[in-house]
A and B are shown apart, each in its own frame.
Chain A
Amino acid sequence: MNALTFTLKKPLQFSLNCQLLNPTHLADKSSSDIASMLLNYGNSQCRVDDIFEIFGIDAQNICFKNSSDKLDYLGANMASGKMVIEGDAGAYLAYQLKKGEIHCKGNSLAYAACNMINGLLTIDGNTGDFLGGASAGLRKGMRGGTVIVKGNAGDRAGDQMRRGLILIEGNTGDYCASRMIAGTIGVLGKVGEYACFNMKRGTLLLTTRPKLHATIQDCGCHTLPFLNLMFKSFTQFKTKFSSIKTQRVQRFVGDAACAGNGEILLILPAE
């Protein structure tokens, strides 16, 4: 069956809320039902077929073509199937994703994987602030699943993250893993200032030592066998992280300012 494909007809002036266009919501809907659905566009509503060319019938495989950063909430609340975004995505990409896979071939704006529960999100480009964070008013961010970012991430990546895995192959902005509750974040590039600010638990895996604030404490260099298990678990994803073999790390613990027991594991060359 052909993937259900939404091709953006023309550049958008305002943000379009796309949360209804996911496999879970579109299952069992006819082409005409989908075409006539109303989406929030700026402060008004418009029909799906006013904005997208619609092609294909397989609602478990959805493809967005010619997409732009005006498309917010792509894959939001998705609980099954696959979504491919051939282009950029707006804010709240994979918001509260429950199950399934989303592959964004471009960049995304802030709050990608926000409140994510499970599933897999891959972003080939860069992403904005609050990757895997919590939406406004919530005290817990991402609660499970895996996020892979091939490019860079903005500030506050993993803010209040509760569980799950975020792998960033590029750099991150400031306050990476801030207020992190648990889970694992890996960064192959550079990390901005105030990494692990108010971190409670969880792991930030790094390859380059960032400038750390005073309440992150050095616990020395160690060989940790669990890393072998962790790197082995990365091999199921197409990411540079799966090529890491060493179990030798320098361990920093913090944030002592909030009696935190989180850790930064700085990967060292094998002995």
Chain B
Amino acid sequence: MLINGVQIDDTFAEAFNMRGTRIIITAQNLKWAYHAANAMTGFATSVIGCGVEAGIERELSFEETPDGRPGLSILMFAMGSKVLMQQLETRMGQCILTCPTAAAFAGIESEDRINLGKNLRFFGDGYQTSKLFANANGMAKRYWRIPVMDGEFLCEETTGMVRAIGGGNFLILAKSQIAALAAAEAAIQAMKLIPNVIMPFPGGVVRSGSKVGSKYKTMFASTNDAFCPTLKGVTNTELSPEIESVMEIVIDGLNFEDIAKSMRVGIQAICDLGEVSGVKRISAGNYGGKLGPHHFKLHEIMGTQA
């Protein structure tokens, strides 16, 4: 498949089942909401080393937040519910509780609940107060008010946890590093408009895609040598001679459709730049279809209408 001079490989991205949650962070203004959210989603690029993959989904206006202040929604994903709960509580305690004026609320409803402020309340040392408020649907929710030095930290007791998908991806193969990164930036800008997904790596882009296994026994993942341009002559390369740089975009999301949609708008944004941008091919990472149950086929994705 060729779109505007950019070749789309006949391959697929292989993705895995994950557990996900959404948290709403509010603060006195967006600046402090970003401070809190950036801290909470920091060091959350890959479950391999960070436990969770997390990112800021979007900005929320004061009409959209429970306490009527500006805020951000955060998505967080892990391979299992136990890790997700553990990571969420740790990050809540170290990043949101500590951030001036920040408050945290559930951003998703489900029968499965994980703790948001349920254990964090004990920081209040007995001075914490709970309040049960009914929302417009008459559903009662418990909130904790924890006295802190800037006033009160307000936090909902739990948030929902849902089944999710992690590891949607595509690769940008370009004639230069500058061209690959510019294309990746254009893709991320378009993909950020899609709800229910995050791109957890720095700036949404990965330069160190990995393969399963290594020559070293202690490593269970290592550099994806088939896509490393400097190894073209010594490895079973996937790259043609003119490719000098490859960037990857990884997507986690709450459902298959939104991940596919974000891949489509991202790839389309790159194709819109055209062949003159230096981008030659779009490919995707997979493990032969044996490990992940979700396959995002590039030709199918780009064949569907936006």
Interface residues of A (CB under 8 A from B): 146, 163, 182, 184, 201, 203, 222-226, 228-230, 232-233, 235-236, 261, 263
* Known contacts A223-B151, A225-B152, A236-B138; is-contact A230 B133 (Cβ 8 Å): yes
Q: Is the CB of A224 within 8 A of B131?
A: no
Contact partner of B68 among A163, A201, A222, A228, CB < 8 A? Answer: A228
Q: Is the CB of B129 within 8 A of A224?
A: no
Interface residues of B (CB under 8 A from A): 26, 66-69, 103, 126-127, 129-136, 138, 143, 145, 151-152, 154
Q: Is the CB of B129 within 8 A of A225?
A: no
Q: Is the CB of A226 within 8 A of B126?
A: no
Q: Is the CB of A224 within 8 A of B126?
A: no
Distance of A66 Cα from B135 Cα, bound (Å): 36
New contact pairs (12) apart from A225-B103, A226-B154, CB-CB < 8 Å: A146-B134, A182-B130, A184-B131, A225-B152, A225-B154, A226-B67, A226-B143, A228-B67, A229-B67, A232-B66, A236-B138, A261-B127
Distance of A184 Cα from B130 Cα, bound (Å): 11
Which residues of A are found within 8 Å of B143, using beta-carbon distances? 226, 229
Q: Is the CB of B126 within 8 A of A261?
A: yes
Contact partner of A224 among B26, B130, B138, B151, CB < 8 A? Answer: B151
- Could you list 14 A-B pairs, sorted by A, with CB under 8 Å? A146-B134, A182-B130, A184-B131, A224-B145, A225-B69, A225-B154, A226-B143, A229-B67, A229-B131, A229-B143, A230-B131, A232-B133, A233-B135, A261-B126
Distance of A196 Cα from B66 Cα, bound (Å): 30
Q: Is the CB of A222 within 8 A of B67?
A: no
Nearest B residue (CB) for A118: B140
Contact partner of B129 among A146, A229, A233, A261, CB < 8 A? Answer: A261
Distance of A225 Cα from B105 Cα, bound (Å): 13
The distance from the CB of A251 to the nearest CB of chain B, in whole angstroms, is 10
Q: Is the CB of B134 within 8 A of A229?
A: no
Distance of A263 Cα from B152 Cα, bound (Å): 14
The distance from the CB of A174 to the nearest CB of chain B, in whole angstroms, is 25
* Known contacts A223-B151, A236-B138, A261-B127; is-contact A229 B132 (Cβ 8 Å): no
Q: Is the CB of A229 within 8 A of B154?
A: yes
Which residues of A are found within 8 Å of B127, using beta-carbon distances? 261
Which residues of A are found within 8 Å of B133, using beta-carbon distances? 229-230, 232-233
Contact partner of A229 among B66, B126, B136, B151, CB < 8 A? Answer: B66
Residues of A contacting B: mostly: mixed
Q: Is the CB of A236 within 8 A of B134?
A: yes
Which residues of B are found within 8 Å of A224, using beta-carbon distances? 145, 151-152
Nearest B residue (CB) for A253: B127
Distance of A235 Cα from B137 Cα, bound (Å): 12
Which residues of A are found within 8 Å of B134, using beta-carbon distances? 146, 233, 236
Contact partner of B151 among A201, A222, A263, CB < 8 A? Answer: A222
Distance of A224 Cα from B136 Cα, bound (Å): 21
Distance of A81 Cα from B61 Cα, bound (Å): 38
The distance from the CB of B147 to the nearest CB of chain A, in whole angstroms, is 10
Which residues of B are found within 8 Å of A236, using beta-carbon distances? 134, 136, 138
The distance from the CB of A18 to the nearest CB of chain B, in whole angstroms, is 27
Which residues of A are found within 8 Å of B130, using beta-carbon distances? 182
The distance from the CB of A46 to the nearest CB of chain B, in whole angstroms, is 39
Chain B CB count within 10 A is highest, among A146, A203, A225, A263, for: A225
The distance from the CB of A260 to the nearest CB of chain B, in whole angstroms, is 12
Distance of A225 Cα from B26 Cα, bound (Å): 10
The distance from the CB of B149 to the nearest CB of chain A, in whole angstroms, is 12
Please list the 8 inter-chain residue pairs (A to B) with the smallest Cβ-Cβ separation, ordered nearest first: A233-B133, A228-B68, A226-B154, A225-B67, A228-B67, A229-B67, A226-B145, A233-B134
Which residues of B are found within 8 Å of A184, using beta-carbon distances? 131
Which residues of B are found within 8 Å of A226, using beta-carbon distances? 67, 131, 143, 145, 152, 154
Nearest A residue (CB) for B133: A233
Which residues of B are found within 8 Å of A222, using beta-carbon distances? 151-152
Q: Is the CB of B68 within 8 A of A232?
A: yes
The distance from the CB of A268 to the nearest CB of chain B, in whole angstroms, is 15
Which residues of B are found within 8 Å of A232, using beta-carbon distances? 66, 68, 133
Which residues of A are found within 8 Å of B151, using beta-carbon distances? 222-224
Distance of A182 Cα from B132 Cα, bound (Å): 10
Nearest B residue (CB) for A226: B154
Distance of A233 Cα from B152 Cα, bound (Å): 19
Nearest B residue (CB) for A120: B138
The distance from the CB of B105 to the nearest CB of chain A, in whole angstroms, is 9
Which residues of B are found within 8 Å of A228, using beta-carbon distances? 67-69
